[in-house]
Structure 1
Amino acid sequence: MEAWWSLHGVVLPVLLPLATAVTLLWLGDQGGLSAQGGGHASARVRLQRALSLGSVTLGLLLALGLVGRAADGALVVYELGDWPAPFGIVLVLDRLAALMVLLTQAVALPVLAYACGGWDVRGRHFHALFHFQLMGLNGAFLTGDLFNLFVFFEVLLIASYTLLLHGQGRERLRMGVHYVVLNLTASALFLIALALIYASTGTLNMADVAQKVARLQGTELRLAQAAALLLLVVFGLKAALVPLYAWLPATYAAASAPVAALFAVMTKVGLYAIVRVHWVIFGLDAGAASSTAQPWLLGAAVLTSLLGVMGALAAHTLGRMVAYLTVASVGTIALGVGLFTPATLSAALYYTLHSTVVIAGLFLLVEQVAAQRGAMADRLQPASAVREPVLLGVTMLFGAASAAGLPPLPGFIGKVMLLQSSAGLPSQPWVWALVLGVGFLTLLGLARAGIVMFWHVEPARPEPSAGSSVRLLAAPWVFMALTLGLALAAAPIKAYTDAAAQQLTDKAAYAEAVLARQGGPWVPTARPYDGRWVPQQHKEQQP
């Protein structure tokens, strides 16, 4: 069993959700509950929920195993069909990929448990689409090939199109049309960028492209640089960077609570792709193409943080405020990535874990608060008092404190890491001003929302309001517990993110691991690589 896991463990985060989704489709659509989630679940619904939750739980255990496997610095290359890179499709497991797969599964499990409280039966094939989305997310994090990054993007986007409309509604349909059109446009630009890279390098394997870009000159260099900027536009749209962020607040606010919570991972896929392309391929040692996107990325990061927090201050609903805070957090992460040092990237990775967990929990909490405010729902206006002010208020306070970066929560730790890592850089003054200013404005916005919703209340109205169940509130509590875990385990997590950032700078080791079979003898399909690169053993690739 251990040998089988060592050989095929890397591909399981892709195959498991795929097999689960196909099985759920074979079982047929769920039924037996009313449109409002009432009544008793039918046997088919209970079976679907059990299978879906069991699969995500197993996926979380697999992700933990992959993090343990990658923690010692080993690079594991899985060759699909036993075709060697750069000719075949490869999955590559390193510290960063393992961390992102773990984050995806850790968010997916409580979100799915929350959805099983009734949201999963308000539309068709929720569980199957949920697992197709996980397949796309995990595949995007593990792939070592640019074209297959596009393929996995399309898988997760197709699933997200339908999940966004889950539960129906005019506003969801309207925002869904915008979301689909924008992402189809981005997909077309993605293909154009891939064509430019292939035209200039003759390959789309990330390791092979990274080697060949450094030697480009003339027209081929300009084609590659144009492709790099196009990819920044594509990934910037998916990450919601300025000026391509305007779609996110209304879209996430319109989505159902579990879908919006899962979508907290979606923006991180765009940021992850920026790291892979603009660190590994167009990084500091990419010859004349080095740091092609850095000036644009830094400017976009600053504006994204500022406009995100300003949007949160101006928001008229709690859901839209949380969506704008998602944008602001993207800007903070992109700032760490765009400074292009291992220390700032490590800080950005830690902050990625924190922001994803907190935002997902807040999206679930928004619905619970809105359910107890009658027709006023989550609008930031006085309404009748919620039925559980202490329970919901404390949860809201904890989430707000973490999102704003108050000590000793992980938001504070992540921002301190970013401030410390920027020390000595020319950009240090405005980085400090931005990070501290955005944190202060975030605190003001969330404090205003809490005061309106829990203190400025009106006399009880005759209109009914739903109560929150302990089962549904358990999911936000899980996210808050994960937040505490990030704070308590900050030292080992930081050591891991430090090592992950440093590993990304070693392009030679990455190329040696991925391209070792090219022109060489046969080796097992999944090859661990210990990170010790011997230059004389490296085969120079022909341009």
Structure 2
Amino acid sequence: MTVHLAILPILIPLVGGLLMLLPPFAGVERYQYRRVAALCLMLAQIACSIILILMVVQNGAIMYAVGDWQPPFGIILYADQLSAMLVALTSFLGLGVTLYSFAGSDREGKYFHPLVQFQLLGIYGAFLTNDLFNLFVFFEVLLIASYTLLIHGGGKQKTAANVHYVILNLVGSSLFLFALGTLYGITGTLNIADMSLRVAQLSESNQLIAQAGGSLLLIVFGLKAAMLPLHFWLPRTYAAASAPVAALFAIMTKVGVYCIFRVYTVIFGDQAGDLANMIQPWVWPLAILTVIAGTVGALASPNLRTLAANLVIVSVGTLLIAFALRTPEATAAGFLYLIHSTLVTAALFLIADMLGQQRGKALDYFVVARKIKQQALFGVLFVVAAMAVAGLPPFSGFLAKLVILQSVTGVEQKIWVWSVILISSLITIIALSRAGTTLFWRSTPSRDNSETPGVSKWQICATFLLLGASPLLALFGASIIEYTNNAAAQLHDIPYLIEVMNLEENAQ
């Protein structure tokens, strides 16, 4: 079984999702069966991801050739410490989303749990593949599932947001194919490791074509990651989605960021000759502007869901800053921040939904409404989430931002990075303070909230699961930082990747 470990995160949701479309799971009245199956599948994926992490830590990266077709010709999966970490993060997030949906949102459509599995399938595949064309395939899998999940439950607002989301991603998929055709035409391969060898050997004229293809990929990944100026779709889309779907989508932008880290470190990294670090002059200002745009959007947000969506944009900009520094230390700091921001923003979407359930027609909008019934519980959840996402001690946000700031070396870089991150954190605190003040203190005392139903135990359990990761990340910070340092060093070690792929031997 360990021989096929790298492909198990893909096979489990694929087979499980297909089985849930068949009897005895099919049918509206069979939702209990689907819940049991979904929970078992998520626990299996978490167990598989933990074993995968242990394997890559003990034995090094795993190269899996599907059908035993060796690189660069076969379908290659590559599990290193980075991809294994992201698979584990996704499965943990998927468990929280699945538990939250048990409160009743999964009954709004009988295909919710199969679609979640297909969404996870695409995300796992994107993290594990070592081939750009297969990356495109897995992108399409996760996007098709996300189209249906976004509109899950129906409604005019979801439909309008979904139309824009689908059109933008269809454009992005077309550009992705153009980029792949361009790069394949001049390198003769789409294997990421093999392409890293061939890019440095291109003639001057072909280098210009490769630069055009690489720039198209940046547009595609920037659209997936919601990098400015391609971020405008995210707040409306995430705010329109149901709470568990929005929480699951917190990992979607990280797929685009991961692709930027992987492709522009391995293919267009320091070993790429004249094309080395070709996108860095563009990423630097775009990363800073993305943080600024997300921060301003958070301050101007009319409700908690939109605020959380804009905080996702802030996290994307912060991760791109870590990438733009182009050092293993900054990359490792970015990986720690990626784990933190994904879980905390996902928890914030769930908190916004539960608050909306208790405030009647006002939902989670920052307006005067009836008093929240379970005010102490939600007050604690909101304060913990706010402190974590703003980067205040003793939570993981403080540790993650601290290691990013410590990874900055140059004086000019320190001025820009420290100023942007610290000012953004301050404004985030102001925005969250304003939100908390309105939601919890500005209420109409004359309105009776005794008839307001309490939230489900599943919702509380899922929120505590995701939010509880923040103090644990800080508590075990030394071990996690050591892991992310090793993952970053492995990502930047291109000769090691070539050795694992046996490319030099296969070329002979």
TM-score by length of 2: 0.97
TM-fit CA distance, 1:465: 4.0
**Matching of residue 100 in structure 1 with residue 96 in structure 2:** no
Question: Residue type of the partner of 1:17?
Answer: P
What is the alpha-carbon distance in structure 1 between the residues aligned to residue 444 and residue 381 of structure 2? Answer: 22
Q: 1:469, CA displacement in angstroms?
A: 2.4
Superposed CA deviations along residues 315-357 of structure 1, whole A, max 9, x for unmatched, are 1111101100111111111110111111111110000000000
Match of 1:395 among 366, 372, 381: 381
Q: 1:505 aligns with which of 489, 492, 506?
A: 492
Segments of 5+ residues of structure 1 without an aligned counterpart are 33-41, 520-538
Residue number among 404, 417, 423 corresponding to 1:437 in the alignment: 423
**Identity across matched positions, percent:** 43
Determine the structure 2 residue equivalent to 1:534: none
Shift of 1:216: 1.3
Which residue of 1 is the match for residue 471 of structure 2?
Answer: 484
Distance 2:307 2:112 in 1: 26
Instruction: Tell me which residue corresponds to 1:359.
Output: 345
Residue 171 of structure 2 is matched in structure 1 by 185
Deviations 1:102-135 (A, max 9, x none): 0100100011011121111102411111100111
CA contact (8 A) 2:72 2:503 kept: no
Q: How does 1:107-126 map to 2 (within 5 A)?
A: 107-126=93-112
Assess, with a 3 A threshold, how the Cα gap between structure 1 residues 465 and 31 changes in structure 2: closer, same or farther.
farther
Pairing partner for 2:441 from 452, 455, 458: 455
1:223-248 CA-to-partner distances (Å, cap 9, x unmatched) read: 11111111111000000000000000
2:413 is aligned with 1:427: yes
Q: 1:369 & 1:71 partners in 2: Cα distance?
A: 41
Matched, 1:70 2:56: yes
Alignment match of 1:330 (pick from 316, 319, 324)? 316
Counterpart of 1:491, as a letter, is A
- Report the alpha carbon displacement of residue 458 of structure 1 after superposing the two structures with TM: 1.3
Judge conservation of contact 2:103–2:459 (CA < 8 Å) in 1.
Answer: yes
Higher helix proportion (structure 1 or 2): 2
Contact 2:42 2:95 in 1 (8 A): yes
Q: 2:12 aligns with which of 12, 16, 19?
A: 16
Q: Is the Cα–Cα contact under 8 Å of residues 84 and 517 in structure 1 kept in the other structure? A: no
Determine if contact 2:24/2:33 at 8 Å carries over to the other structure. no
Q: Give, in angstroms, the shift of residue 270 of structure 1.
A: 0.2
Question: Within 5 A, what are the aligned runs for 1:368-379?
Answer: 368-379=354-365
Mapped to 2, the partners of 1:79 and 1:471 lie a distance apart of 40
2:412 and 2:398 mapped to 1: Cα distance?
A: 23
One-letter code of the match for 1:513?
V
CA RMSD of aligned residues (A): 1.4
Unpaired runs of at least 5, structure 2: none
3-state SS of the aligned residue for 1:90?
Answer: strand
Match of 2:297 in 1: 311
Q: What's the offset of the Cα at 1:518?
A: 5.2
CA distance in structure 2 between the aligned counterparts of 1:61 and 1:29, rounded to whole angstroms: 23
- How many angstroms apart in 2 are the aligned matches of 1:383 and 1:408? 32
Q: How does 1:163-202 map to 2 (within 5 A)?
A: 163-202=149-188
* CA deviations over 1:428-454 (Å, ceiling 9, x no partner): 111000110111111110010000000
| Partner residue in 1 for 2:146 | 160
Shift of 1:457: 1.1
Structure 1 residues 122-137: aligned runs within 5 Å: 122-137=108-123
The amino acid across from 1:284 in the alignment is D
Q: What CA distance in whole angstroms lies between the structure 1 residues aligned with 2:13 and 2:408?
A: 39
- Equivalent residue, structure 1, for 2:38: 52
Counterparts of residues 122-271 of structure 1 (less than 5 Å): 122-271=108-257
SS at match of 1:366: helix
Displacement, 1:515?
A: 3.0
Contact 1:145–1:205 (Cα < 8 Å) also in 2: yes
SS at match of 1:77: strand
Q: Count the aligned residue pairs.
A: 507
